[in-house]
Amino acid sequence: MIKRKINLAIKLTPLGTRGIGLVVLGIIILIALFFIISHLTKTFKALDYFKIKDVMVVRGKEGFDFSYLVGRNIFNLDLKRESGYISELYPAYKKVRLIKALPDRLFVVFTERQPLAYVKLYRYFCVDSDRVLFAVPQGQEEADLPVITGLETKIFGAKPGKQYNIKELVIALNIIKEAKIHNALRDYQIKRIDVANPAHTACFMIIPLQPTSDYAKEQAQAVQEVLEVKIGQGDISDKMRVLGELFIQLKKDLSNIKYIDLRFKEPVIKFKNAQ
């Protein structure tokens, strides 16, 4: 029995040595590859051939200056860090993405923020669905967007590109969002939303007039009928759904309504000619 174990050990020993040799050889090859790749990377980073010569801007409307990137080696560029830096420079854009195009070109892709409303503070700002304030883009000054008022004492020293998680702003944006969801409300533009007091939040909606002649059509364009809707701060989705149903039922009488109050269990409607 002892003799058999000795013979078996003698037969296995060459195989074990061969296996160890293969492992050592593999380690040596990996180390060699590491040094080769490291050397090639350093070589590429030192070559003028891979220095950025041109920065191409995609989907940008402003005058951008990316001259600070020209001359830098394309392999040394940290795309994530540079994207964050550019986003801080141009907060009117939701996202900035950099794309390398070897050997010496860089593409900058901008995704614009989509303004949902104006916010009236010490000056007008735009706000998007992320509750980020940004300067009014060129050409957007006359856009028919709702104006959110009543935040003057809530937001001090507004900073473009900053997100504001303020209850009053959230309420206003929810009203705008829900108004777009319900088909019955899509023809009624929100002119202004007052959120100075959340419990008394109100939106003012333009009621389209039904002109019967060209002269009446001109008059309708000059004078807008505005309906006040008192919404409050809770159950915004349900209240906007109820408002849509009321607009369908009262479509012919909307211009004669002074306000609709949705803050109670049952809607309250106040007519202009009511005593």
Mean pLDDT, range 20-34, rounded to an integer: 77
d(CA 263, CA 266): 8
Mean pLDDT, range 52-75, rounded to an integer: 84
pLDDT class of 38 with cuts at 50, 70, 90: low
45-58 pLDDT per residue, tens: 556 778 899 998 88
The 3-state secondary structure of 220-262 reads HHHCCEEEEEECCCCCHHHHHHHHHHHHHHCHHHHHHEEEEEC
The model's pTM: 0.73
- Of residues 1 and 236, more confidence is placed in 236
Q: Where are the domains of the chain?
A: 48-112, 117-271
Mean pLDDT, range 205-220, rounded to an integer: 64
Most confident of 9-18, 25-34, 151-160, 194-203: 194-203
Cα dihedral 262→264→265→267 (10° resolution): -40
d(CA 200, CA 119): 18
The CATH homologous superfamily for domain 48-112 is membrane protein fhac (3.10.20.310)
235-270 pLDDT per residue, tens: 999 999 999 999 999 988 898 999 999 999 999 999
Class of domain 117-271: alpha beta
pLDDT class of 12 with cuts at 50, 70, 90: very low
Bridge partner list, 195: none
Q: Report the pLDDT value the prediction gives residue 6, as an integer from 0 to 100.
A: 45
Mean pLDDT for the chain overall: 83
Mean pLDDT, range 114-135, rounded to an integer: 93
d(CA 189, CA 147): 11
- Of residues 232 and 224, more confidence is placed in 232
